[in-house]
Each structure stands twice: as C-alpha cells, then as structure tokens.
Amino acid sequence: MGNEYDLILIGGGIVGLATAFKINSRNPDLKILLLEKEDHVAAHQTGHNSGVIHSGIYYKPNSYKARLCISGRRELVEFAKEHRIPHDICGKVIVATDPSELTHMNRVFNNGLANGVEGIEKIGIDRIKEIEPYCSGIEGIWVPCTGIIDFASVATKYKEIIEARFPQSRVLTGYEVTGIDRQGDVTTVATPRGIFKAKNIIACAGLQADRIAQKTGIDTDARIIGFRGDYYDLSEKGMSKVRNLIYPVPDPKFPFLGVHFTRMIQGGVECGPNAVFVFKREGYGKTDFSLRDTAAAFGFKGTWKFFAKHWKFGIDEYQRAFSKRLFLDRLQKLIPSLQMDDIVPGRAGVRAMAVSSNGEMIDDFKIEQQGNMIHVLNAPSPAATASLAIGNEIAGMASKQFGYN
C-alpha cells in the first residue's frame, strides 16, 4: 500500500482507535495509518484498567470530562449492544463511612445532577444494605447507570471495524515512532520498521504523550507522571461479600477515586487500586525501574512540587503497596467483615497523569492543536468510557484544522 497516507495516528489505545474510527466514518475515502509500538492494541492503560463504564457523576460541570463521559457512555453502551460486546449496567453505590465525608458526597451528587446523570439518588443505611448487604456506611449515592465492560475488547472491535470498512486504512502494531519531521506540507514519521508520510498527524500516545509532543516541537509545560495502581482479587470466600460496585467518597484533595470494589465482566471481583509513583512509565511490577523514566520525572520541577504538596499521601500509598494488612484496613472501611483470606494479590495498572510545572495535576482532558497536528496530552479516566465522544471531538477539530468532513 505504500508509505503515504492522508493522516497518521500515533497510539493504539482505545482513544487512538476510537479517533481513527470516527474520522474514517466521517471521511470513508481518507487513507489513515495508525501506529502502535506494542505487538497488540490496548496494551497499556486500556488493557489494565478496572473496566468500569463511568456515569459522569464526579466531574466538574461543563468540563471536557463531564460532557464527554456522559455522551460517550451512552454511545458506548449502544455500541456494545450493536456489536455484542459483553457488558452489564449493574449500577454502583458511593458510600460515606464518616460524617466528615458528607459535604463532599453532596458536592458529588450535585455535580451529577448538574451533569444530567440519569437516575442518581441519595440513599440511607437501609438502602445501602439492600444493594450491598456487607457494606457499611452512613449515607450514600445510588448510581444506576454505571456498568462494567472489557475495554480491551472494545478497542479491538474498533480496530476490526476500521480494517473491515476502510480497506485503504491500516492499523500496524509493533511500530514504535522514533522520529517526526515536518517539511512543508508533509510530515515524515520514522519507525525502526519503516518510514511513513502524511499531511496531518494526531497523537494519542497515553503514557508517552509528552514525549511524542516533544518530537513534534509542541510547546507544553505539562509532563506525564505515571502512577501504578495495585489490585487485590476477592477469593472464592470473599466474593460473596460484593454484588456489583462499591466506591468510597473520593478525597477532594486528590484526583483518584479511592480504593473500591469492582465486579469484573469476565468474572471475579477486584479491589483497589492504590496510587503510587512509578519509576518506569510502563512498569507494572512493584520494583520495575527505568533510568530514563526516573531521570525524566526527577528532572522536571513539577514532580518535586507535586511531591512537596502530597508527600503524606504518597507515603501512605507506598506503605499500602507493600502491606496487605494496610490494604485490607482500607478495604474494611467499606466492608468491615472482610478478612485477610478474603483477598489475594491481583494485577496492576499504570495511569498517566499530566502534571504542570507548578506541581498541579491537570484534572481535565487536554487536547491541543498546532498546525497540521493534534495532540491528546492528557486523557486519564474516564477516557475509556468517553472514547467514542473523544473521537467525535477530535474528528470535529480535524474537520476545522485539516479540512475534513
């Protein structure tokens, strides 16, 4: 097929694939190439998340996250029905266990109302017990439109549709982008396995988003910092204590939702994750280390400012990462009867968070345009839920920026 394309997308996670799918659907004659450095799509954040279809209740009204999560969720559920992707809109409870959490719980509920999240209601102790008999809380929120799915299967389906409907487009795995050079109207993208050319570039590179941006000369003060999340699985004995999804009221000081319980679409129940700084961006083991990644993180002043602001949180999370007892203590806030033999070590994921030079985590999705390029610089949770809506958003940008339909 040659090496010349109309558009090259970098990154074969769920956002990159959804974007290619949406742009090609609007422009069926467009010749699109998507490059993924791993040997399969959805290899990192997409394939290592908890598989929750988020409702949109948490996010600041009118933010990218609020708008795209809600529209994306609805479209995702229809997509899953159409393509027979296993999913379950099982609902979840957000549970306050202490009076100090009620103010923020009410703020979350009001955000949900403002965002138009359907069916949410405040509930008391009796209703919490009716939904999750082993859960202990003083008040809660019932979120019936939350669900579960396997996002790697969704991403794979996007890939299959692109290849089936648009034979002039390609998704290539095992092609790591090592260089990007713009000369006039043509941009050359180099990989160890070949050189490709296109007029326009869209990067959805996840954990490597800032590095791809730097290769293109995009000026951004944000850097990607990785946070590993460790999970435990409930044992056969422990699984009877969770029916669907149980979440704590999130701590408003941090951009994480807290340790929670999630029934998985493939079976079983996960509990977690914690959130610890990683010394290797794509390292899923507790002792994984990359000199390049560590030097990059510690060479960025925003990292040190973030640590200075959140050092106590960081120490607490690291202790839980290496102590099953401390992890269990946190889980017992929601299910007091949980015992040590109810949980067994599970998998881990790494979440990319964009941190500014002043040490603030960028809380919303961050998508920037410059010339013939569009960069998704920050797409943390709920990006998987919102993937089709993010694809629509970028397709709209591409329409204006690149002259597409």
Q: Mean pLDDT, the chain, as a whole number? A: 95
Is 116 inside a domain boundary? no
Residue-wise pLDDT for 371-395, tens only, equals 899 999 999 999 999 999 999 999 9
**Co-location of 173 and 41 in the same domain:** yes
**Co-location of 207 and 233 in the same domain:** no
Quote the pLDDT of residue 1: 52
Mean pLDDT on 108-133: 98
pTM score over 0.85: yes
Strands 170-173 and 32-36: parallel
Among 380, 392, 4, which Cα is nearest to 194's? 4
Q: Is the peptide bond before 382 cis (omega within 30 degrees of 0)?
A: yes
Is 276 inside a domain boundary? yes
Is 231 inside a domain boundary? yes
Read off φ and ψ for residue 361, nearest 5 degrees: -75, 135
Is 397 inside a domain boundary? yes
Residue-wise pLDDT for 161-170, tens only, equals 999 999 999 9
Q: How many domains does the chain have?
A: 2
Strands 276-277 and 343-355: unpaired
**Co-location of 213 and 267 in the same domain:** no
**Co-location of 32 and 170 in the same domain:** yes
Among 190, 145, 205, which Cα is nearest to 366's? 205
Per the structure block, which two tokens stand in for 201? Answer: 């570039």
Decide which of 73 and 1 is more confident. 73
Quote the pLDDT of residue 212: 95
**Co-location of 270 and 283 in the same domain:** yes
Q: Of 329, 346, 361, which residue is a domain's last?
A: 361
**Co-location of 164 and 22 in the same domain:** yes
**Co-location of 158 and 184 in the same domain:** yes
**Co-location of 369 and 357 in the same domain:** no
Is 19 inside a domain boundary? yes
**Co-location of 297 and 367 in the same domain:** no
Is 41 inside a domain boundary? yes
Residue 371: domain span: 4-46+152-222+363-402
Residue-wise pLDDT for 240-293, tens only, equals 999 999 999 998 877 677 899 999 999 999 999 988 999 999 999 989 999 999
Is 328 inside a domain boundary? yes
CA distance 205 to 208: 5
**Banded model confidence at residue 320, pLDDT cuts 50, 70, 90:** confident
